Amino acid sequence: MSTRDRALGALYGLAIGDALGMPTQSLSRADIAQRYGVVDRLLPGAPDQPIAPDMPAGTITDDTEQALLLARLLVEGDGKLDPHVFAGALQSWEQDMIRRGSLDLLGPSTKRALDRLAAGEPAEQTGRDGTTNGAAMRVAPVGIAFAGNTLLDAVVESCRVTHNTGLGIGAAAAVAAAVSAGVAGVALPEAVAAAEEAATTGGQRGHWVAGGSIAARLRWVRGWVHDLAPAELVPALDEVVGTSVAANESVIAAFALVEVLGNDVRAALTTAASLGGDTDTIAAICGAVLGAHHGMSRLPADLLEQVRQVNRLDLDATVDGLLALRSTN
């Protein structure tokens, strides 16, 4: 399997997970079970879907769209990310979403930070309380474009405006490190170990905020989930780990699924889409990590084809641009 196949797998895996979780985002696990059972296929957004009403089956959401926005800016900026350019691009993206009639807009941490930036606050301060999963959900391109000693600094740069906290950076660093290791061909257990190490270091960057450490929770969940019976996994993730937009819940839930179901991409992503809460982000992060490990050629072919067609996705040029950065950074 080539590096390029794994890099494509990271972005397309993210998109598949995102689209699987689109119709169930912000619903409870009980509501999902009553409506759909297990989400084992790409489903449309129901008319009463709180964020994606009436969206066609296979439609991606903010997770993929913001990741591709970040990828474009990284390629255009030769690996550098200007905070004001990034902020402007995010605001333009939201306006486009509003024009399309979508309710899938900027998350609370990002929105608050961009308002502060527009009011004249310095970029180093605007993301001082960003603890949600917004930076982690869109960081996969950083993991494709960077490796080794340059990776963490690139993650911090991608978090500075909106999620400049130990929790925000730690979560994004974990995802980026796992993707970067997967693209390099590292075995999945070692890639998750790299995620934990990056979360430890990333958690020491940015502003301090109260909350359970990403690295500590990741270390705990990796052992804890193996003591669970299969039938206990989903309720445990929902009720103990948590599936909210908080980075130290949803990102940890995604890695728990990688730990337990990492050899079965379809099972991992459909389980993520059935958890309740921030299902699109949990499944997207899970898909990015597993796609980087397994490669595009091992993603579920039916889901991949539908997501590509519905969203007119052709990510070859994007991945080539990111890998060109990786070879020089």
Q: 149-203: per-residue pLDDT in tens?
A: 999 999 999 999 899 999 999 999 999 999 999 999 999 999 999 999 999 999 9
Q: What is the pLDDT of residue 104?
A: 64
Q: What pLDDT band is residue 15 in, cutting at 50, 70 and 90?
A: very high
CB count in 10 Å sphere of residue 214: 30
Q: What is the pLDDT of residue 13?
A: 98
Residue whose C-alpha is closest to residue 258's, from 289, 223, 298: 289
Instruction: Indicate whether 89 pLDDT > 90.
Output: no
Looking from the CA of 99 toward its CB, the CA atoms found within 13 Å total 6
Instruction: Indicate whether 4 pLDDT > 70.
Output: yes
- What's the count of helices (H) and strands (E) in the chain, helices before strands? 18, 0
Amino acid occupying residue 209: V
What are 228's two structure tokens? 């669970």
Instruction: Indicate whether 283 pLDDT > 80.
Output: yes
CB 258 within 8 A of CB 288: no
Q: What is the pLDDT of residue 90?
A: 81
Instruction: Indicate whether 106 pLDDT > 90.
Output: no
CB 41 within 8 A of CB 18: no
| Mean of pLDDT values over 77-85 | 91
CB count in 10 Å sphere of residue 208: 11
Burial class (CB in 10 A: 0-12, 13-18, 19+), 92: exposed
Q: What is the pLDDT of residue 102?
A: 65
What are 92's two structure tokens? 């333009």
> DSSP class of residue 104?
-
Backbone torsions φ then ψ of 315, nearest 5 degrees:
-100, 10
Q: 17-63: per-residue pLDDT in tens?
A: 999 999 999 999 999 999 999 899 999 999 999 998 999 999 999 99
Residue whose C-alpha is closest to residue 325's, from 44, 111, 79, 2: 79
Q: What pLDDT band is residue 135 in, cutting at 50, 70 and 90?
A: very high
Backbone torsions φ then ψ of 246, nearest 5 degrees:
-60, 130
Integer Cα distance of 158 and 308 in angstroms? 26
Give the number of residues written for the chain.
329
Instruction: Indicate whether 105 pLDDT > 70.
Output: no
Q: Where are the beta strands (DSSP E) in 184-304?
A: none
Backbone torsions φ then ψ of 244, nearest 5 degrees:
-80, 180
Integer Cα distance of 77 and 104 in angstroms? 27
CB 173 within 8 A of CB 199: yes
Backbone torsions φ then ψ of 263, nearest 5 degrees:
-90, 0
Q: What is the pLDDT of residue 327?
A: 85
Q: What is the pLDDT of residue 261?
A: 96
**Structural domains present in the chain:** 3-326 (1.10.4080.10)
What are 140's two structure tokens? 């996969």
